[in-house]
Each structure stands twice: as C-alpha cells, then as structure tokens.
Amino acid sequence: MKRRTWFGLSLACLAFAALLDPRSAVAQEASTQALYKEHCASCHGADRLGGQGPALLPQNLKRLRKKSALGVIGNGRAATQMPAFKEVLSNAQIAALADYVYTPLDHVPEWGAAQISASHVVHKPELVEGDANSAKPIYDADPLNVFLVVEAGDHHVTVLDGDKFEPIHRFKSRFSLHGGPKYSSDGRFVYFASRDGWITKFDMYRLETVAEVRAGINTRNAAVSSDNRYVIVGNYLPHTLVILKASDLSLLKIIPVKDGKGNSSRVSAVYNAPPRTSFIAALKDIPEVWEIRYDDDPPAGFSQPWVHDYRKESGDAPKSEQFPVRRIKVEQHLDDFFFDQEYIHLIGASRDGRGQVINLDVRRAIADLDLEGMPHLGSGITWRAGETTVLATPNLKKGEITIIDTATWKTIKRLKTLGPGFFMRSHENSRYAWVDVFFGPNRDAMHVIDKETLEIVKTLRPEPGKTAAHVEFDRSGSHALVSIWDKKGALVIYDAKTLKEVKRLPMSKPSGKYNVHNKITFSEGTSH
C-alpha cells in the first residue's frame, strides 16, 4: 500500500515536472501534429491548405466559432465526407486539434503559378467555349429568369425556375461559397468563388461544371469582364490578384498586390466596371484603389494618360503590358464599397465607418460621407426619388438605413430599423426596397420601405424565431424571394405588390440568390 502511494506520488511529480519543462510543450505540439497527420491531412492537406476538404487556417475558419469546430471534429459534418472522431479521439485530443487549426502558419504559404496550374481541372472540354448543339438550355424555362440559390447549410446550389418557382436542378458546390456568383454577359455561364479560393465555371444551359481552379488560399471574391474573356480573383492569402482565361479558367497573370515601397496588401474586393472596360479593386492594407484595364486598346480619351500614368508609377513596365494597373491613392483603407450606375464614382467605407466618394476619372476623393456605425455599402442600392437619385445602405452595427442624395452626397435620412441589417434589395419595377434585420432579437424581421416616402410601410416575419435575410427580385420585379437562414430553412416567395406570401420551398440555409436577368443587366436594385 505504502509502495503504491510512493509510486503514485512519483508519477504525479513526473507529470508536474513535465508541465514545467518547456520541452513538454514541444512534445505536445509534436503529438498534435502527429494526430493531424494521421486523421486530418489526407483530406485537409499536410500543410492545412485544404484538399478534398477545406483549408484549416484561421483566415479560412473565421466564420466557424472554436466551440463549433470542436463539435465538427467530434460529431462530423452531415452531408459531407467529414467523419465523427469522438469515438477515436479523447476530448483533450479534439481540443488540441482545434487549437492547432486556429494557430496561424509561421510563414505565408506560397500559392503561385505552379500551385494554381496544378489545381486546374477542365471537366468538360467540349463546353469550354459553349457548344453548337446547346444554344438553348436543356430545360424548359426562361433562362433569363432563372435564379441560382446558394444553400450554405449543405454546400449545394439550386437552379430555380423564376416563373414557376420550381427547382430545375441541384448540385454540390465547393465548400463555403461566398459572394455573388458572376454570370457571363449572356447568362450562359456562371463563375462561383469559394472562401478557400476555388473558382468554378458552370454551364447554365447544360447544367454541368465546366472547369475549376484554385486561384488562392483565402479568396475575397471574383469578377468577370464584360467581354467574357477574363475572370479576376481577389485574395486575402496570398496578397494577389489572379487573372484567369474565362473559357477554361487557365491562369493568365498573377498581379502581386504591393505598393511602391514593397508593402503588400489583402484585396478587400474586386468588381467589373463595364463602362470603363476595367476591373476595380480596393485594398485592405494599403490606402489605394486599383483600376486594372482589360481591353486590348485603351478607351478613347484614356489611352495616353493611362499608359503614361502606369509607366510612370511602375517604372519599367513594357508598353504592351496586358492588364495595366492604375493606382488611385485614397485617404483610408477601404473595406467595403459600391459604385454609382455610371461607374464614375466609387463610394467606399472603412470598417470604422468613415466614408468617402472617389471620382475614378479625376482619381481623388470628392466628398466625405456622413455615415455612422459600420455601413455595409457593398449591399447598398440606388433608385430615383423625385428629382434625384438616392443611395441607401444598411448598417452592420446600427439599426438604421442611411439614405444619401447622390447629387450632393449629403445624408438626407436616417431610417430607424429594428436592428442592424446585412442585405438590401429592390427592382426598377417595384415601389419598395427590402432590408433585413440580420442581427439581434429581431433577426426574423424584414422591413419593406416605400422608395418615394422613404418610410417603412410593412415589417414581415416570414418565420418567427429564424433569421430572415437577403432578398432578390425576379426578372420583372413582380416577386421578391426571401431566405430563411437556417439549416432547416426555406425560400419564401412574396408577391412584390401585395406583400403576401405565394410559395415556400424548404432549403438548407439558402444564403444568397441571384437572378440571371437582374445581374446581367446590372439592375440598380441588386448587387453587381
């Protein structure tokens, strides 16, 4: 008995000494790495950059709380390949793995031409340019009134007939799509971006995935040129803009995002600006906006200054450089931004709520905006109100919609809402604008605003207790589709005039929905 006590004590002392020994932390890390190698690496990549499963880096896991990550490792993830580990691993091992995947890498991983090209797959070579046999869709519905609905709950996309509100097709997407899918100008093809950097080209007529490529490790969004020749991808990790050939997604150019002094930056977002035949990118860590021209000949009135500016700023750039970059210095880093319909003004805000209007032609700020909280300008919309055009933006921190007169850039109304909102929508043919109350106790509410009186005329609660979010109108503006943002969620379709529900389709956390016509015509009521 006595011997056993001594033995127990010695073990306890040894364990305590091990805790104090700095080498034990090293041993702990090595054993966690070994666990990762044994159980996770085959799907998530030996370097945590992702593979068949998503990347396991803090930047990519931002949307997943650590507590939920413990649950996913223990219980697996329904409708995916992710198995449950609670029978195989102890709670301490699961916690160690969760800590490990939330630890930043000690170096910025490389994701250059070799990695991008190695990830590139053309699934349907015969569809790369669109095939002659399928000038029409394989389904019987108006291809311009089709919606894509991204179902974030189980990482699928539904193709929805926008006249009958019936699903035509449903397919598995890459893990965690984010941002709006971007259509080619005729609506035949669509390009999705996932947070892990996968770009997928999908044929809307044949309902097939054409090609895929991983353009970054942590991606913000993608845009497609109006001439359908290029796709540009803005990345957080690494600090690059990547230009792909739109037909087959092969790599054309990587633009390192750096200022003249060698400081690099994440890309806040990149958009196509049709009248300018250029892409516009805002940067998160350098106070600059970049305009990247994609046409072969400089637009009239633009050519000489453009070439001159570019060559002056980037030194030895050859004259024939494709995709020249023109830099616009701004006063603050831009997190979130929006354009007027003419793409002359960029209306941007930093996360601390400072807003400014930048004239892209004269290349400087021309007005400050009177904004508060954290305006979500990326979700802003414009409409004609009386003699002027107004810009309205929801706010991620305050229960208000800020309405700004774009003639004077003055705030003309702060409309109180039941809480901070995320997305706002309207349509040229509708007298109403819809905005969600995404955060707080009233997250199940959806406000409907009269665009003339600038007052809330109705507050809908499509499913009490569940978040109602993100609206998109059909082609004619006669119906508005609302998401119930829940794994056991739904798409609720409203008559846009009577504001009465007409149909409800069960769906798995339908996050965003995107109408082909409204997107390709750059409708003023929707995101671009």
- Footprint of ligand DHE (CB under 6 A): 62-63, 152, 178-180, 220-221, 269, 378, 422, 470, 511-512, 527
Nearer to ligand DHE, 111 or 192 (CB): 192
Nearer to ligand DHE, 32 or 218 (CB): 218
Distance between CA atoms of 112 and 238, rounded to whole angstroms? 9
Nearest distance from C-beta of residue 402 to ligand DHE, angstroms: 17
Residue 379 has phi, psi (to 5 degrees) of -100, 5
Q: Comparing C-alpha atoms, which of 182, 365, 235 is closest to residue 289?
A: 365
Nearer to ligand DHE, 390 or 469 (CB): 469
Nearest distance from C-beta of residue 220 to ligand DHE, angstroms: 6
DSSP notation for 191-259: EEEBTTSEEEEEETTTTEEEEEEE--SEEEEEEE-TTSSEEEEEEEESSEEEEEETTT--EEEEEE-B-
β-pair partners for 213:
199
The answer to whether 423 and 180 are in contact (CB under 8 A) is: no
Nearer to ligand DHE, 35 or 57 (CB): 57
Nearer to ligand DHE, 378 or 421 (CB): 378
Nearest distance from C-beta of residue 17 to ligand DHE, angstroms: 43
Nearest distance from C-beta of residue 320 to ligand DHE, angstroms: 30
Nearest distance from C-beta of residue 494 to ligand DHE, angstroms: 17
Nearest distance from C-beta of residue 439 to ligand DHE, angstroms: 10
Chain centre distance of CA 250: 21
The answer to whether 177 and 192 are in contact (CB under 8 A) is: yes
Nearer to ligand DHE, 94 or 146 (CB): 146
Distance between CA atoms of 294 and 225, rounded to whole angstroms? 7
Nearest distance from C-beta of residue 338 to ligand DHE, angstroms: 10
Distance between CA atoms of 451 and 385, rounded to whole angstroms? 7
The length of the chain is: 528
Nearer to ligand DHE, 244 or 307 (CB): 244
The answer to whether 490 and 481 are in contact (CB under 8 A) is: no
Nearest distance from C-beta of residue 378 to ligand DHE, angstroms: 5
Nearer to ligand DHE, 248 or 335 (CB): 335
The answer to whether 32 and 39 are in contact (CB under 8 A) is: no
Nearer to ligand DHE, 161 or 335 (CB): 335
| SS3 sequence of 333-392 | CCCEEEECCCCCEEEEECCCCCEEEEECCCCEEEEEECCCCCECHHHCEEEEECCEEEEE
Nearer to ligand DHE, 153 or 287 (CB): 153
Nearest distance from C-beta of residue 232 to ligand DHE, angstroms: 11
Nearest distance from C-beta of residue 348 to ligand DHE, angstroms: 12
Nearer to ligand DHE, 94 or 491 (CB): 491
Nearest distance from C-beta of residue 490 to ligand DHE, angstroms: 16
Contacts with 407 (C-beta within 8 Å, 6 or more apart), sequence order: 388, 389
Distance between CA atoms of 459 and 446, rounded to whole angstroms? 6
Peptide bond into 420 cis (omega under 30): no
Burial zone of 245 (CB within 10 Å; 0-12 exposed, 13-18 middle, 19+ buried): middle
Nearer to ligand DHE, 128 or 468 (CB): 468
Nearest distance from C-beta of residue 164 to ligand DHE, angstroms: 23
Residue 139 has phi, psi (to 5 degrees) of -120, 165
Q: How many CB atoms neighbour CB 101 within 10 A?
A: 21
**At CA 172, angle to CA 167 and CA 176, rounded to 5?**
110
CA-to-CA dists, residue 489 to 194, 472, 495, angstroms: 21, 16, 20
Q: Comparing C-alpha atoms, which of 209, 375, 348, 203 is closest to residue 281?
A: 348
